[in-house]
Amino acid sequence: MPARQRLFTVLVLLLMMAEVFAAAEGLSDDITRRLKAQAYRAYYGKGEPVNHERALLLYEQAAERGDAEAQFIYGGMLYQGQGREAPDKHNGFKWLLKAAEQGKESPESLGIIGAMYLRGNAVPQNYMEAEKWLNKAAERGNAAAQNDLAYLYYHGLGGAPDYRKALELYEQAALQGDVVAQANTGLMYAAGVGTDRDRARGYAWYSLAASRGNTAASMNRNSLMLEMSWEELNRAQALSLELYRRVEHVAAPKMIAPEQED
């Protein structure tokens, strides 16, 4: 067979193989779409009773086929214990990480991944990986990740302590209502760590955390109060009310003026 004819034959075979692979890939994608559609209907009860166990099984099959969205949902269901008798944080983390590595994530899933690396749960402890994932979640406003990342910077885990960055992150989480972050923000202002000492602001954050049931913050607030003048205490309590309104989104009450008599 002439060389040109052999080359033509090879090209034809390669083209036929490419068509076969494309058809197989298209069929695979179609199967994955059907699995996810069935899982969605089972999860939300669309046209059938709600069945999280069935949804979990179907999402698992789609996840095993490499679909990032299915991996994300399957991992989240495992982590929360949906469709199971108890949460499976180990495998939930594994699938959330697989999904995130393919670009399918949420602030919450990023925060979970970072927290698992930080604490060494379900995966060996790794502060560098924790910082990477927590940073992504914190930048997207996740309060739990901001709190964890602040802890990492405060204690210098993986490097030198960065108190200013820790305070900034604690305060961001505190303004979102994270009680632990509120107590830690109060501690840093009261002690002057990462900032100039500000007893009034420290008291205010302690007081806010104490009002949400944080016992340590309550004790620290009462201890700090002994060092303060009445003027400073009045300013601190006014600031604590201002912070409360910011966190709880409560409008300041309007003064009600008496009606004029005719």
Using 50, 70 and 90 to split pLDDT, how confident is the model at 260? very low
Whole-number pLDDT of residue 48: 86
Q: Structure tokens of 72?
A: 């994300």
- Rounded to whole angstroms, the Cα distance separating 30 from 32 reads 5
Q: What is the pLDDT of residue 135?
A: 97
Q: Do 120 and 104 form a contact (C-beta atoms < 8 A)?
A: no
Q: Which of 58, 61, 89 is nearest to 76 (CA)?
A: 89
Q: What is the pLDDT of residues 168-204, one digit of tens each?
A: 999 999 999 999 999 999 999 999 999 999 999 999 9
Highest mean pLDDT, choosing among 18-27, 82-91, 244-253: 82-91
How far, in Å, CA of 180 to CA of 215, rounded? Answer: 11
Rounded-to-integer distance, Cα 183 and Cα 161, Å = 19
**pLDDT (0 to 100) of residue 1:** 53
Predicted confidence (pLDDT) at residue 206 exceeds the cutoff of 60 = yes
Q: How much is the pLDDT for 29?
A: 86
- Say if CB 93 and CB 80 are below 8 A apart: no
- Return the minimum-mean-pLDDT range out of 23-37, 95-109, 228-242: 23-37
| E strand map for 88-235 | none
User: What is the C-alpha separation between 117 and 66, in angstroms, rounded?
Assistant: 23
- Tell me which residue has tokens 């994300």: 72
CA distance linking residue 4 with residue 167, whole number of Å: 73
Q: Pick the residue with more confidence: 21 or 144?
A: 144
Residue with tokens 């034959």: 9
State yes or no: pLDDT of 5 exceeds 80.
no
Q: What is d(CA 117, CA 126) in angstroms, rounded to the nearest whole number?
A: 5
Q: Which CATH class is domain 36-104?
A: mainly alpha
If you average pLDDT over every residue of the chain, what do you get? 88
pTM confidence score: 0.82
Instruction: Name the residue among 161, 104, 157, 102 with its Cα closest to residue 130.
Output: 157
For range 56-78, the mean pLDDT? 95
Q: Are 208 and 237 in contact (CB under 8 A)?
A: no
Domain spans of the chain, in order of start:
36-104, 106-161, 176-248
Q: Are 191 and 202 in contact (CB under 8 A)?
A: yes
Place of tokens 């086929």: 65
In the numeric block, which tokens belong to residue 35?
A: 């699995």
- Let me know how many helices (H) and strands (E) the chain has, helices first: 12, 0
Which of 15-24, 60-69, 123-132, 226-235 shows the lowest per-residue confidence on average (mean pLDDT)?
Answer: 15-24
Residue 149: pLDDT above 50?
yes
Q: What are phi and psi of 64, to 5 degrees?
A: -65, -20
**What is the structure's pLDDT at 251?**
54
Length of the chain: 262
Residue 12 confidence (pLDDT): 47
